Amino acid sequence: MDNILVTLLFMAVIGAAIGGVTNHLAIKMLFRPHNAIYIKNWRVPFTPGLIPKRRDELAKQLGKTVVDYLLTPETFRKKFFSKDMQDKIEGLVQQKAEEIIFTNDKTIQDWLTLAGFSHMPATIEQKVAAVVEGQFMAMRNTLATKSLRTLLSAEIQATIDGKIPVAVSHILEKGEDYFLSPEGEMTIKAMIDDFLASKGSLGGMINMFLGDSSSLVGKVQRELVKFLQAPGTAALLTKIFTQEWEKLKDRPAMDFLEDVHMEPLLVKVQSYVKEQLAVEERLNHPISYYWPEGNVWMKEKVIPQAIDTAFVKAEEKLEDALRRLDLQEVVREQVDSFPVEKLEELVLGISKREFKMITWLGALLGGLIGIVQGLIVYFI
């Protein structure tokens, strides 16, 4: 009886040792050795371990599994394109727009400074001054090279042509009123006196004969008025003015501005534009100063519409984007490049307890098998 107990105990210990060591060795052979072992040109069997040896296949299969079952388009749609997610993003964007863009704490110049444009007012003024100078020089060149006929439109020329008879009539009326006035009489008398004085002795004799030029003033006055009232006078002046106007049309516009100094005028125009623009002062206000309803408009119209459009477009392009990302290849590359040591440490760190249980289970089964073998040997 003692012999059978010793035999059974011995067989159980041997079986347990064999089962435990076998399971422990099998677990280790999943990762060990990390690299193939060679004796000269002969590779030792079962080297490297199962996972290092099949890492390429494992990487491919894992990549395929991730793409087919984990990171599918439907998964992204449920996770990122839900109504709840859209509402959250919309609320976040609205909050950030109010806190950052439409705040009164930052002026437009502050935003420009953050963007690296701290000297924007001076830059704008320089650009505007250069534009004004360029336009001014272009205008000067145009006035110097083109005639009034080419510069003035047909409508303006027709209007001026039509105003010539009106101007002549007005001039004749004013001339008549002037010569009939006391001032006009004095002017006629002075002209007669000057005329007689310019004729020397003959003029003196006429002056002595008449005694005073005042007697001639009324006659000359009546003749001048008759001349001004004559229809031929208006026609003559209209013809003269029309001819002169036609000549003026063919002259460059700059001929009439020869006495105008352009450089001081340019400086004044630039100063006026700079003063009216007041760039630095205008930039020293927040966005809400110029656009008080902008925050409400952004919240109620722009942001909801932009977010909705972005979600629709993103969902339409989702499958194409995932295809371009080629997640299967990304996962394969990452798994393939992951060090076996780290992979072993990761797996054993997670399943260390379970692996120990497998080892002890192997020892238990080995012990039971040893007892069964002992009994079989005993009865045989």
Q: Is the pLDDT of residue 44 over 70?
A: no
Q: How far is CA 264 from CA 131, 137, 261, 324, in A?
A: 17, 13, 6, 64
The mean predicted confidence, pLDDT, of the chain is: 80
Q: Measured between alpha carbons, how far is 225 from 175 in angstroms, rounded to an integer?
A: 8
- The answer for residues whose C-beta is within 8 angstroms of residue 31's C-beta and 6 or more apart is 49, 50, 51, 52, 340, 343, 344, 347, 348
Q: Report which of residues 194 and 244 the model is more confident about.
A: 244
Q: Is the pLDDT of residue 337 over 90?
A: no
Pick from 86-100, 127-141, 171-185, 319-333: least confident: 319-333
Mean pLDDT of 20-36: 74
Per-residue pLDDT of 108-156, as tens digits, reads: 888 888 888 888 888 898 999 999 999 988 888 888 888 888 888 889 8
350 pLDDT band (50/70/90 cuts)? low
- The answer for residues whose C-beta is within 8 angstroms of residue 332's C-beta and 6 or more apart is 59, 60, 62, 63
Q: Measured between alpha carbons, how far is 16 from 8 in angstroms, rounded to an integer?
A: 12
Q: How crowded is residue 286: how many other Cβ atoms within 10 Å of its Cβ?
A: 18
Picking from 144, 124, 101, the residue whose alpha carbon sits closest to that of residue 290 is 101
What pLDDT is attached to residue 240? 92
Our measurement of the distance from residue 278's CA atom to the centroid of its chain's CA atoms, rounded to an integer in Å, reads 24
Pick from 71-75, 209-213, 276-280: least confident: 209-213
Pick from 97-111, 285-299, 336-350: least confident: 336-350
- The answer for residues whose C-beta is within 8 angstroms of residue 144's C-beta and 6 or more apart is 252, 253, 254
Per-residue pLDDT of 169-226, as tens digits, reads: 999 899 888 888 888 888 877 777 676 666 655 555 555 555 455 566 777 788 888 8
Q: Measured between alpha carbons, how far is 380 from 368 in angstroms, rounded to an integer?
A: 18
Mean pLDDT of 55-59: 72
- The answer for residues whose C-beta is within 8 angstroms of residue 152's C-beta and 6 or more apart is 160, 249
What pLDDT is attached to residue 210? 52
Q: Report which of residues 156 and 353 the model is more confident about.
A: 156
**Domain limits, the chain:** 2-71+327-379, 147-251
What pLDDT is attached to residue 181? 87
Picking from 274, 256, 255, the residue whose alpha carbon sits closest to that of residue 266 is 274
Does this model's pTM top 0.75? My answer is: no
349 pLDDT band (50/70/90 cuts)? low
Half-sphere exposure of 352 (CA within 13 A, CB side): 6
